[in-house]
Amino acid sequence: MRAAMNTAAEIQLDCANYQIPDCIADKNGSLSGLRLGVKDLFHIAGLPTTAGNPDWLKTHPTPSSTSSVVKTLIEQGAELTAKTLTDEIAYSLNGVNSHYGTPINPADNTRIPGGSSSGSAVAVANGTIDIGLGTDTGGSIRVPASYNGLYGFRPSHGVVAVDNLIGLAPEFDTVGWLTRDFATLHRVASCLVPEQPSGKIERLVVALPQGFSTQGLSVQALSNWKAIVDALLPKLNAIVSDVCVKELPQAMCAKASDAFRALQGRQIWREHGDWIEGAEPTFADDISARLQWCKSLTQADEDSAELLAQEFLAYWQQEFITDSATAVLCPTAPGAAPKLTMADDELASYRNHLMGLTAPAGLAKAPQISLPLMNDQHAPWGVSLIGQYLSDQAVLNLAKLIDDSEVNNKNI
């Protein structure tokens, strides 16, 4: 059983009044007045980085350099408030940390907060900070955004710098952020996302997931999503000229999940295997089991996963994201956050289904934004826009139109 710990568990290190060397804040910058929390994977000169694990802290020196993303946000006026808790080496979507505690989901304290950017999400949701900086490899911004009723953006892979941070799987790692409102999210994007060729989303494909088991999109959640789609269509048609609904088979989501998890697993072991075998760190049981699985993966497994990924991408690009003017609207997660009391084996199965919804953007290296537009079981449930690689600005522009319209109604 997992338990929510204390209300301060989201904060790993209080950074109020800490001055980063060679980093001068502009009091009139575009982010002036906003409090910033930084996931404890980002290096800040003079401050320790724990990666959510005490053994990592013991075996690594205090950083002497600062993430360029962190510096950019502070130089634009954001106030560094805290380093925030992460799941161990960011290898979880649950937000549960057996060493430092589990941040309490402010929307429903009986549910997991989602990870691995758990501390950043909860600190934003409970009002401690305004910008929650995090990373997203397999869903670590999008999932906690959905679970906590937040806006969360994962940019195209490679668009935002990933220097001076602890990676998980470099070919999929991105830097993302969480906010309580779209305006703040867009202010951060204006600082971090470089200009791209002007573009507009002219075709929106609404994905209707099919055939999910009860560990995935539940019968009730699927029914809710269908009702939401019916309610959204007239409003979306007023925003986008071409809107259509397509079924998204569970088999294709499973193919994406299987491919992504294996490819990610091979990269994780390349990234951290030597340290794990040399330092013999203590991990939570579920994370330890996944790391041992990563170790067991072979080159043949990786080759098979790559073929599976290409099969999925060919389908995805033919049926859903056909060009840079197309976006997909779909549930961010299978429903509300799982309960803290969910059995470990059920949560592991749920994770595989969850990654069927997060893996498409990861495999396509595409931008995705989760918007807090829905509820499930009286708890937050996010809806996502996914675009083509390097269509970040177009996706953000469409998200703004949706957020400004009557579509943004959390009671739908």
Cβ atoms within 10 Å, residue 107: 21
Q: How confident is the model at residue 2 (pLDDT cuts 50, 70, 90)?
A: very low
Which of the listed ranges 158-167, 231-240, 372-381 does the model predict with the highest average pLDDT?
158-167
Please check the confidence at residue 271 and state whether its pLDDT lies above 60: yes
Q: How confident is the model at residue 214 (pLDDT cuts 50, 70, 90)?
A: very low
Q: Is the peptide bond before 116 cis (omega within 30 degrees of 0)?
A: yes
Q: Convert the pLDDT of each residue in 6-60 to its tens digit.
A: 456 899 999 999 999 989 999 899 999 999 999 999 999 999 999 999 999 999 9
Average of per-residue pLDDT values in the chain: 93
Distance separating alpha carbons of residues 326 and 318, to the nearest angstrom: 11
Q: How confident is the model at residue 199 (pLDDT cuts 50, 70, 90)?
A: confident
Average pLDDT estimate for 161-183: 98
CATH superfamily of 11-192: Amidase signature (AS) domain (3.90.1300.10)
Beta-bridge mates of residue 386: 328, 368
- Asked whether the domain spanning 203-404 has the same topology as the one spanning 11-192, the reply is yes
Please check the confidence at residue 222 and state whether its pLDDT lies above 80: no
Q: Tell me which residues are annotated as active site.
A: 39, 116, 140
Q: Measuring CA to CA, how many Å separate 288 from each of 41, 227, 276, 281, 351?
A: 19, 40, 10, 10, 15
Please give the share of the chain, as a percent, with pLDDT higher than 70: 94
pTM (two decimals) = 0.95
The full set of domain ranges for the chain reads 11-192, 203-404
Q: Convert the pLDDT of each residue in 244-263 to its tens digit.
A: 999 999 899 999 999 999 99
- The candidate with the shortest Cα–Cα distance to 118, out of 89, 149, 87, is 87
The second-level CATH assignment, the architecture, of 203-404 is: Alpha-Beta Complex (3.90)
